A and B are shown apart, each in its own frame.
Chain A
Amino acid sequence: MSTIDEQRDVKLKEIICEILELEEDEVTETSLFNEDHGADSLRAIEILASLEKEFGVVIDQSEMARMVNVKGVREVVGEAAGW
């Protein structure tokens, strides 16, 4: 993994944890925002919005169905950004 990738990853996780109001070790690759962390749909929109702004991308709202954990979010953002 290159340094840029690592920085991107760190930033992505940081944004997610900030919005979920959780420490980074509480959120794993596959822990679910809704079921495991109690995030409502507005938190999900907030995550999407923050990532769009941070990475300068536009994500279709329909992709929110996949953005249920860190892994899913990275995939969706990666596709939108062409990572």
Chain B
Amino acid sequence: MSLTGLHGTETPNELHRVVLTGFGVISSIGIGAASFADGLRHGRSGARPISAFDTTGFAHAIGCEVVGFDPAQWVHNMPVERLGRASQFSTAAARMAVEDAGLPLDELRAARGLISVGTTDGESFDLERLVQSEIEGGSAGIDPRHARRVRAGRLSASVAQELRLVDVEAVTLSTACAAGNYAIGYGFDAVRTGEVDFALCGGADAMSRKTFAGFYRLGTIAPEVCQPFDRGRKGILTGEGSGMLMLERLSSAQARGARIYAEVLGYGLNCDAYHQVAPNEESVARCMALALENAGVKPGQVDLISAHGTGTKANDVTESHAIRRVFGDEAPRTISMKSMLGHTMGAASALSAIGCALAIDQGFIPPTINHVETDPQCPIDCVPNEAVEADLRVVQNNGLAFGGNNAVVVLGKYQPGS
């Protein structure tokens, strides 16, 4: 059955329901949706000493690196050496998502699509090598292969080229640490109106010396563990990876008998227009309200919030207070997957959206690990350390970023006819 063929029952100008039917995951706690789900359920930690760059001179350098990733396993058509590390992640995760969705590639090639990949740093891993070659050999000594690889658009274009998809718009959304949610939201709007048959959306980032040094300089890197909402939290751990999601119309998923992990109910976007790096409580609250309104759900219907939850002093207080503004004293349980994955930057909200959908599908709430004592300034139930069983109908996934770029996605359990 075809992605494009079966829409006879729909009337013109009707907005489609949008569902998630396939996931690709490359993370420090597991590669592939099944391994990732297992990691979330067991509260696995991806933290280990950083090996992606020379950490000499930093007092501490723990991060959440992806280990055991062999791009050749997933990248078949593109020469792997022409892809930067982040593009390797996005491309591999995209192929995984297509396979997970059970969509034959020839069918996908006959359909019309959108590929949107969020990122914070693009190919910063390669950028460091480019700059290193410049330091050693002057501007004329820059390695052209690195110069060729560093453009951000390649994170999405490479996905199309690897899968040999022609009838697609490939766009990289460089909206920093909320970029994964931006990408999913963009796919939602495009699929919902019927402009495209499918959207392959998500985010990717590779470990970067520049990013690590930046957060370190701001005093926001934790020495050992990431402890969101904990009284003793000391900051983030930087991470890497990619999460890619297949979005399609409910009707096409049903017609081909696809597994539906969850439904995308809506999303919200806004900008603090306040500070380059400090979040703004009122604006974050407004973004959550916009997302709920777009999804057509009331705050009381939300069963779980997957927080941005970086584990910095400022984020966790601001975000918890914003949640209380919207949800009052009865705020739903609010977890941070960054306790396990570290902050995977542009991949973060894509990976956590996948985590939310897996939680809905499998009926559990991933824990916030490394938790000792909840900060009274963060008055929420963060489901400390142990996953719990739960029937989840509506889950909200927060993504906040430098530049005041906020994006919140709302997912729901797929319920026929609702």
Q: Which residues of A contact B (CB under 8 A)?
A: 40, 42, 45, 49, 61
* A–B complex contacts, Cβ < 8 Å, 11 sampled: A40-B275, A40-B278, A42-B218, A42-B275, A42-B277, A42-B278, A45-B217, A45-B218, A45-B219, A49-B217, A61-B219
Q: How many residues of B contact A (CB 8 A)?
A: 6
**Count of CB-CB pairs between chains A and B under 8 Å:** 11
Chain B residues positioned under 8 Å from A40 (CB to CB): 275, 278
Residues of B within 8 A of A (CB): 217-219, 275, 277-278
Q: Which residues from chain B contact A42 at a C-beta distance below 8 Å?
A: 218, 275, 277-278
For the A-B complex with A42-B218, A45-B218 known, give 9 more contacts whose Cβ atoms are closer than 8 Å. A40-B275, A40-B278, A42-B275, A42-B277, A42-B278, A45-B217, A45-B219, A49-B217, A61-B219
Nearest to A44 among chain B residues (CB) is B219
CB nearest neighbor in A for B219: A61
Closest B residue to A64 by beta carbon equals B219
Most buried by B among A40, A42, A49, A61: A42
Q: Once the chains are docked, how many angstroms separate the CA of A81 from the CA of B218?
A: 21
8 nearest CB pairs, A to B: A61-B219, A49-B217, A45-B219, A45-B218, A42-B277, A42-B278, A40-B278, A42-B218
- Minimum CB–CB distance from A44 to chain B (whole Å) comes to 10
Question: How far is the CB of B149 from the nearest CB of chain A, in Å?
Answer: 30
Least CB distance, B374 to chain A, in whole angstroms: 23
Nearest chain B residue, comparing its CB with the CB of A61: B219
Q: Once the chains are docked, how many angstroms separate the CA of A42 from the CA of B217? A: 11
C-alpha spacing A42/B218, complex, angstroms: 8
